Homo-oligomer: A and B are copies of this chain.
Amino acid sequence: MYKITFLPDGRQVLIEEDETLLEAVHKAGLYIHSICGGEGTCGRCKLLVKKGEYKTKPTTHISQEEAEKGYVLACQTHPKSDLDVEIPLESRIEGVYAVEDIAQKSELKVYPEVCSPLSKQISLNLPPPTLQDNISDMDRMLRELRRAGYRDVKVELNVTRKLADVLRENEFQVTAMLGWEGDGFRVLKVEGDKRPNFGVAVDVGTTTLVAQLVDMSECRVLRTKATYNKQARYGEDVITRMIHAEKGGLDELHQTVVKDINDMISVLCDENGISPEDITAVVCAGNTTMTHLLLGVNPKHIRKEPYIPTFSFPSPIKAKEIGITVHEEAMLYCLPSVASFVGGDITAGVLASGMAKQEEFSMLIDMGTDGEIVFGNSEFLVCCSCSAGPAFEGGGIEFGMRASRGAIQRVEVLPDLEVKVTTVGGVKARGICGSGMIDCLAEFLRSGIINKAGKFNEGIKTDRLRKGEEGLEFVLVWADESAVDRDIVLTQPDIDNLIRSKAAVYAGAKVLLDKIGFDFESVERFYVAGGFGSYLDIGKAITIGLLPDLPKDRFEYIGNSSLAGARLCLLSEEAFREAIEIANRMTYIELSVDNTFYEQFVSELFLPHTD
């Protein structure tokens, strides 16, 4: 076995010669990008071997120059001696403070108007029994709960077994913990002390997990924590993960997401001085595949025609059934999904936007990898999914990354074709995130760097446009001003990918409307959701044809609407019922059943659109 030392972390692990450096990274508890899940095709898991001998497969993702320096793809490289390995900044999955920061600022709200959380800690002041009032202990408790508005409440056997003693030891002053079961409440615990009542809402994203701690007694948001979804080590998109699950990796994927959520809960509890035992309910919103993986249900059939998920709305369970470490009796709820590629996160978004209650026609566009679109009002709801691809989240883009520290989020092209960039955190640039990419397209188009077809204009006069390994590329940040010691460029394939993504979203929205006899003009309100939502420049998104050319005041950013919907449900069984109704009401329209979508998509491969 060989010892692998990771720099600058200094962590050391032992691996066999037939294991890859990617496996070594995982063993070391470190996180690097790996979109393809170790197939050698995405080129994101670059490492720099500083010392030692190794064997690596040839790849187009490593240039000759890089290979000479010792750059390798972790998933394609085996040790032949002890190694010292550096993890370059661009390979490393780092903090997500920006995501938290945004969630935190926008969502420290109090929701007294909806406050009827899915779990309760109800203080009961019961009259002690007498010969005249000699109903059973349980009936005495249920009578008081009925007076408080809770009817047909069930009681757990373990609560029943302890009830008589708990009541008498506490002179009939107790706290009853109630959990909602979808059609009523169940008494999950009865204790003598007053008990705090916290809940956690979780956005179970393919890329990013966000957990929010809520004080349910006051219906107040306390704090938000985010982490990259460490399932990414098994593939960055849902398809790769489905394949991994099918190959026997289901439990691994399941345990990974559960651990991520537990880690966030643990930090949230520490930072707020509470115990995980104080958390009495967890509500999760995720896409259909992520919800399957969270519950340990194999999503393999979702990717095979006719694309069937196992469930859309799982019955509430005890959180401990899947190993979530909160109160041992706490319930866990998942938002209902609509179809294989329109999940509980979208149901949550529709709920949070309020569009399902309004008379005006609204459209919700959630620009994740899948690009889900919902249209409708209080009368009807239709939805589709349009495979936008991971470009706006950084996938398939040479220097693409998520909106974390060092990501270029604003780009301005000056008249002399010089470039001014702004990064998340104001530090040296490491790569470019979705909003920066949209800026790029809009600015490149405006200043003639690219034409309407998105092709670089070779005639422009700047040394930033040059020939790279994959054709023409434009230097956004020179190596000496970057944090990665290389020129940060946007390549022609990058631009082609971005145009395909924007074309898919726009075509999806247009075809969805066409199919039901509407057009964009009839959409009175646009809700834009997604990871980069808060950075997005609507004007520039219209410029490149990602969003339709309508008055800006019809657009509204709703940020992480998946989390917002999950939180609403956590705080209100009424909201949860509404979410169930929304999922039932939403009609999924499969765009791929005829050529309409494809034809529209092709005609959208121009900026902003084909005339």
Q: Is A303 an interface residue (CB 8 A)?
A: no
Q: Which of A95-119 contact B (CB under 8 A)?
A: none
Interface string of A531-575 (1 = CB under 8 A from B): 000000000000000000000000000000000000000000000
**Closest beta carbon of chain B to A243's beta carbon, Å:** 16
Q: Is A312 an interface residue (CB 8 A)?
A: yes
- For A152, the chain B residues whose CB sits under 8 A away are 183
Contact partner of A161 among B139, B168, B295, B312, CB < 8 A? B295
| Nearest 7 A/B pairs, CB to CB | A138-B311, A154-B315, A136-B309, A131-B306, A164-B310, A136-B312, A129-B308
Q: Is A307 an interface residue (CB 8 A)?
A: yes
**Closest beta carbon of chain B to A129's beta carbon, Å:** 5
**Which B residue's beta carbon lies closest to that of A139?**
B312
The 5 listed contacts between A and B (C-beta, < 8 Å) are A131-B590, A136-B310, A157-B315, A163-B311, A164-B297
Contact partner of A183 among B135, B183, B298, B300, CB < 8 A? B183
Is there contact, CB below 8 Å, between B155 and A314? yes
**Closest beta carbon of chain B to A249's beta carbon, Å:** 15
Q: Is A18 an interface residue (CB 8 A)?
A: no
**Which B residue's beta carbon lies closest to that of A296?**
B161
Q: Is A137 an interface residue (CB 8 A)?
A: yes
**Which B residue's beta carbon lies closest to that of A158?**
B321
Q: Is A184 an interface residue (CB 8 A)?
A: yes
Contact partner of A137 among B154, B160, B309, B339, CB < 8 A? B309
Q: Which of A131, A161, A337 has the most CB of B within 10 A?
A: A161
- For A300, the chain B residues whose CB sits under 8 A away are 164
Q: Is A148 an interface residue (CB 8 A)?
A: no
Q: Is A463 an interface residue (CB 8 A)?
A: no
- For A296, the chain B residues whose CB sits under 8 A away are 157, 161
Given A160-B295, A183-B152, A317-B157: A312 in contact with B134 (beta carbons within 8 A): no
A183 to B152, CA, bound (A): 9
A306 to B186, CA, bound (A): 27
**Closest beta carbon of chain B to A470's beta carbon, Å:** 37
**Which B residue's beta carbon lies closest to that of A590?**
B131
Q: How many copies of this chain sit in the oligomeric assembly?
A: 2
Q: Which of A123-158 contact B (CB under 8 A)?
A: 129-131, 133-139, 152, 154-157
Q: Is A182 an interface residue (CB 8 A)?
A: yes
- For A131, the chain B residues whose CB sits under 8 A away are 305-307, 590, 593
**Which B residue's beta carbon lies closest to that of A163?**
B310
Given A134-B340, A152-B183, A183-B183: A160 in contact with B311 (beta carbons within 8 A): yes
Q: Is A301 an interface residue (CB 8 A)?
A: yes
Is there contact, CB below 8 Å, between A312 and B186? no
**Closest beta carbon of chain B to A50's beta carbon, Å:** 45
Interface string of A312-335 (1 = CB under 8 A from B): 111101000110000000000000
- For A163, the chain B residues whose CB sits under 8 A away are 297, 310-311
Is there contact, CB below 8 Å, between B129 and A160? no
- For A161, the chain B residues whose CB sits under 8 A away are 295-298
Interface string of A558-601 (1 = CB under 8 A from B): 00000000000000000000000000000000100100000000
Q: Which of A161, A182, A307, A308 has the most CB of B within 10 A?
A: A308
Interface string of A327-361 (1 = CB under 8 A from B): 00000000001011000000000000000000000
A310 to B337, CA, bound (A): 41
**Closest beta carbon of chain B to A507's beta carbon, Å:** 20
A441 to B296, CA, bound (A): 70
Is there contact, CB below 8 Å, between B160 and A297? yes
- For A317, the chain B residues whose CB sits under 8 A away are 157
Q: Which of A264-315 contact B (CB under 8 A)?
A: 295-298, 300-301, 305-315
A337 to B307, CA, bound (A): 51
Contact partner of A306 among B130, B157, B314, B337, CB < 8 A? B130
**Which B residue's beta carbon lies closest to that of A135?**
B312
**Which B residue's beta carbon lies closest to that of A311?**
B138
- For A311, the chain B residues whose CB sits under 8 A away are 136-139, 155, 160, 163
A184 to B183, CA, bound (A): 9
Known A-B contacts: A137-B308, A137-B309. Give 9 more (CB < 8 A).
A131-B306, A134-B339, A135-B308, A136-B311, A136-B312, A137-B310, A160-B297, A160-B314, A161-B296
- For A160, the chain B residues whose CB sits under 8 A away are 295, 297, 310-311, 314-315
A355 to B305, CA, bound (A): 59
- For A298, the chain B residues whose CB sits under 8 A away are 161, 164-165
- For A168, the chain B residues whose CB sits under 8 A away are 301
A301 to B164, CA, bound (A): 8
